[in-house]
């Protein structure tokens, strides 16, 4: 695809740059779930990881490459043959593999980070791209810190990378320093000065340190870029990357100003956003464009009145266009298994028999407690079940004494490797007492890094969705739990995180934790 086309290639790096942000780690099963939704959304390229970085990253790229058939799957590599070989090995099962290699080109990075002279950097660019190209037909090259690179040197490296076989040249604004006019001018400068630029697709990769990642990316598209690198919910290093949903919806909504198209099925945006925030524990701020809880809410009476008369008075896009269907009362305590299965299908879940049975049991329990059961309730409940089949520890029951007259106490039953065990503990409040019970039953030294509670829907009978982040020896895991009882949800979330930690440990140690 050349830049004369108006089609913008969407390159999603949620699983690589997104996952690089502290606390955002995803396990293999979670990465596969995200990759599948990205493919369903028709993302053109899914960057699945940085295979040399760790065995976990390697495995994730390899498994994503095996299951993704229509999107391209990219693996990242530094400009070293060992890195490129590792990335290529991980991509072996891919239907449409892409090798993405990068090297810093700015004076600051060359001098202090690489400690290399420009000539050596240029040589390494030619060597790495030609080497990658001998392995793979689809090679992307990125000059890291491209926006702070001296223009003559950038042009020279880009020209050489294209000559060496790169089909995509990605210009990163690595530190989120650029402003839109300047970044657009940089892209225009490359389009004008690099003689073989028509042989490659120009891509951009913008970070959001000044809150300009989306504006810079769109300015670059107007200047000739035809690939945008972005992430779901804008997650990524530091302040994050350009957000996929904002780029795609800006292109869709402002065709008059930006006559470019993406191939994205925008109706899946909400689903992808919820999945990523549930898995990572990175909640989306309520006023975030496109996917924030308030993005389509009209509070002021005068606005509500306008929307009722004609939605376009205050809505520039429809909630349905991003897959936000007005919450409907879907199911009740009389709904049967068949209706439940149909509902799950409608929400995009295909569960195996065991998981379906467990989810249905939990749904019945919920319908008994909660007057109205909404789609969001069912999504939270299924998120709480998916991927739990290998868990060593299972929640059984919790009894808590709390209130202003202490002490707060908890009695907890957990099933650990098939045996039900009971603990009693006190604490500074009911959550602390509950977590102390877990520590008695499953002794561990992991530190609690995040404890976050969110109501799934409105009303005092709403389910609480809790995220717990644990850290042990530099490894972080996120656990989720949902229940109408906030303490039960908290306990489930902690147990989920602990199970993930045990699985991580099992990969490095033979024996698992047990009380």
What does the alpha-carbon distance between residue 24 and residue 276 come to, in Å, rounded to a whole number?
A: 10
Binds 62: which of Zn ion, ligand KIV, none (CB < 5-8 Å by kind): none
**What DSSP string describes 26-80?**
--HHHHHHHHHHHHHTT-SEEEEE-TTT-HHHHHHHHHHHHH--SSEEEEEEESS
Which single residue is written with the structure tokens 């009882």? 485
Which one-letter DSSP state was computed for residue 327? P
Applying CB under 6 A, among 44, 144, 245, 377 the residue interacting with ligand KIV is: 144
**Distance of closest approach, residue 39 Cβ to Zn ion, in angstroms:** 22
Decide: is 383 part of the binding site for Zn ion (CB under 5 A).
no
What are the tokens at 8? 């913008």
Confirm or reject binding of residue 395 to ligand KIV (CB under 6 A): no
CB-wise, 170 or 490, nearer to ligand KIV? 170
Beta carbon nearer to ligand KIV, 19 or 63: 19
One character per residue 5-34, x = contact with Zn ion (rule: CB under 5 A): ------------x-----------------
Contacts of residues 394-400 at CB distance under 8 Å and 24 or more positions apart, as own/partner, are 394/495, 395/481, 395/488, 395/491, 395/492, 395/495, 396/420, 398/434, 398/485, 398/487, 398/488, 398/491, 400/430, 400/433, 400/434, 400/487
Considering only 25, 105, 106, 142, the residue that binds ligand KIV (CB under 6 A) is: 142
- Measured CA to CA, the distance from residue 330 to residue 293 in angstroms comes to 20
Which residue stretch of 109-117, 170-178, 346-354, 491-499 sits at the interface with ligand KIV (rule: CB under 6 A)? 170-178
Minimum separation from the CB atom of position 16 to ligand KIV (A): 8
Q: Which does 499 bind (CB under 5 to 8 A by kind): ligand KIV, Zn ion, none?
A: none
DSSP, collapsed to helix, strand or coil, labels residue 109 as helix
Name the segment binding ligand KIV (CB under 6 A); options: 81-89, 166-174, 245-253, 254-262.
166-174
Binding mask 190-219 for ligand KIV (x = CB under 6 A): ---------------x-x------------
Q: CB under 5 to 8 A by kind: which of ligand KIV, Zn ion, none does 144 bind?
A: ligand KIV
Residue 483: CB atoms within 10 A of its CB come to 26
Do 77 and 99 meet the contact criterion of CB atoms below 8 Å apart? yes
Nearer to ligand KIV, 103 or 501 (CB): 103
Stretch that binds ligand KIV, among 52-60, 169-177, 180-188, 418-426 (CB under 6 A): 169-177
Task: Give 17 or 44: the residue with its C-beta nearer to ligand KIV.
Answer: 17
Record the tokens describing residue 488, joined without a space: 């039960």
Tell me, by CB under 6 A, how many residues bind ligand KIV.
9
Q: Smaller CB distance to Zn ion: residue 189 or 239?
A: 239
Closest CA to 91 of 122, 128, 123, 48: 48
Q: Which of 365, 376, 422 is nearest to 396 (CA)?
A: 422
Q: Which DSSP string corresponds to 435-480? A: HHHHHHHS---PEEEEEEEEESSSSTTPPEEEEEEEEETTEEEEEE
**Residue 229 beta carbon to ligand KIV: minimum distance, rounded to whole angstroms:** 7
Distance between alpha carbon 272 and the CA centroid of its chain, in Å?
Answer: 8
User: Residue 19, interface with ligand KIV (CB under 6 A)?
Assistant: no
Verify binding: residue 96, ligand KIV, rule CB under 6 A: no
Q: Which residue stretches of 285-422 are H helix?
A: 301-309, 337-346, 353-369, 375-383
- Choose between 172 and 479: whose C-beta lies nearer to ligand KIV: 172
For 393, phi and psi rounded to 5 degrees? -115, 130
**In whole angstroms, how close is the CB of 236 to Zn ion at the nearest point?**
6
Residue selected from 58, 88, 102, 282 as contacting ligand KIV according to rule CB under 6 A: 102
Q: Which is nearer to Zn ion, 104 or 408 (CB)?
A: 104
User: Looking at 8, 14, 17, 284, which residue binds ligand KIV (CB under 6 A)?
Assistant: 17
Q: Which residues contact 494 (CB under 8 A, 6 or more apart)?
A: 434, 435, 438, 468, 470, 479, 481
- Residues 68, 53: Cα–Cα separation, whole Å: 22
Q: How far is the CB of 235 from ligand KIV (least distance, A)?
A: 13
Helix (H) or strand (E) holding 102: strand 97-104
Choose, by CB under 6 A, the member of 71, 174, 280, 408 that binds ligand KIV.
Answer: 174
**Bond into 407 cis (ω within 30):** yes
Q: Residue 24 or 331: which CB sits closer to ligand KIV? A: 24
Partner whose binding site includes residue 19, from Zn ion, ligand KIV, none (CB under 5 to 8 Å by kind): none
CB of 172 to Zn ion, least distance (A): 6
35: alpha, beta or left? (left if phi > 0; alpha if psi -120 to 50)? alpha
Q: Per rule CB under 6 A, is residue 243 in the interface with ligand KIV?
A: no
Total residues contacting Zn ion (rule CB under 5 A)? Answer: 1
Give least dist CB 170 to ligand KIV, A. Answer: 6
Give the one entry of ligand KIV, Zn ion, none that residue 149 binds, where binding means its C-beta sits below a cut-off of 5 to 8 angstroms depending on kind.
Answer: none
Name the DSSP class of 111: I
Chain residues that interact with ligand KIV, rule: CB under 6 A: 17, 102, 142, 144, 170, 172, 174, 205, 207
Residues that bind Zn ion (CB under 5 A): 17
């Amino acid at each position: 695809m050349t830049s004369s086309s108006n089609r913008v290639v969407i390159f999603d790096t949620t699983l690589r740059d997104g996952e690089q942000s502290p606390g955002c780690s995803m396990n293999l099963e979670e990465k596969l779930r995200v990759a599948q939704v990205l493919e369903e959304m028709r993302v053109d390229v899914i960057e699945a990881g940085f295979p040399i970085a760790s065995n976990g990253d390697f495995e994730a790229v390899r498994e994503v490459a095996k299951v993704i058939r229509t999107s391209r799957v990219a693996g990242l590599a530094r400009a070293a043959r060992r890195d490129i070989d590792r990335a290529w090995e991980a991509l072996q099962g891919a239907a449409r593999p892409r090798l993405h290699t990068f090297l810093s080109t700015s004076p600051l990075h060359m001098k202090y980070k690489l400690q290399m002279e420009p000539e050596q950097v240029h040589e390494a660019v030619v060597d790495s791209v030609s080497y990658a190209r001998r392995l793979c037909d689809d090679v992307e090259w990125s000059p890291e810190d491209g926006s702070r690179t001296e223009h003559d040197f950038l042009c020279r490296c880009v020209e050489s990378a294209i000559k060496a076989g790169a089909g995509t040249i990605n210009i990163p604004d690595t530190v989120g320093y650029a402003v839109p006019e300047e970044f657009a001018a940089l892209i225009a400068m490359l389009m004008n000065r690099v003689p073989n630029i028509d042989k490659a697709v120009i891509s951009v990769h913008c970070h959001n340190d000044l809150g300009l990642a989306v504006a810079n990316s769109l300015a670059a598209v107007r200047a000739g870029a035809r690939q945008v690198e972005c992430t779901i919910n804008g997650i990524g290093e530091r302040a994050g990357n350009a957000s996929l949903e904002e780029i795609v919806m800006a292109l869709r909504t402002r065709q008059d100003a930006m006559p470019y198209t993406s191939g994205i099925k925008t109706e899946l945006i909400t689903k992808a956003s919820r999945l990523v925030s549930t898995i990572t524990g990175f909640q989306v701020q309520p006023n975030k464009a496109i996917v924030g809880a308030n993005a389509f809410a009209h509070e002021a009476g005068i606005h509500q009145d306008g929307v009722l008369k004609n939605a376009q008075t205050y809505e520039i896009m429809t909630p349905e266009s991003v897959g936000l269907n007005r919450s409907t009362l879907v199911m009740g305590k009389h709904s049967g298994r068949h209706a439940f299965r149909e509902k799950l299908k409608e929400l995009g879940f295909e569960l195996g028999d065991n998981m379906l049975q467990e989810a249905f049991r939990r749904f019945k329990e919920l319908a008994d407690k909660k007057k109205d059961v909404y789609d969001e309730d069912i999504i939270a409940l299924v998120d709480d079940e998916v991927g739990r089949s290998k868990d060593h520890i299972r929640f059984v029951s919790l009894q808590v004494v709390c209130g202003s007259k202490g002490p707060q106490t908890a009695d907890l039953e957990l099933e650990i490797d098939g045996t039900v065990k009971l603990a009693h503990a006190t604490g500074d409040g009911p959550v602390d007492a509950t977590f102390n019970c877990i520590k008695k039953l499953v002794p561990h030294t992991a530190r609690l890094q995040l404890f976050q509670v969110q109501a799934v829907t409105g009303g005092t009978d709403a389910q609480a969705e809790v995220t717990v982040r644990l850290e042990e020896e530099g490894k972080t895991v996120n656990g989720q739990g949902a229940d109408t009882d906030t303490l039960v949800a908290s306990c489930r979330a902690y147990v989920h995180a602990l199970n993930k930690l045990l699985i991580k440990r099992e990969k490095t140690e033979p024996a698992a934790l047990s009380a």
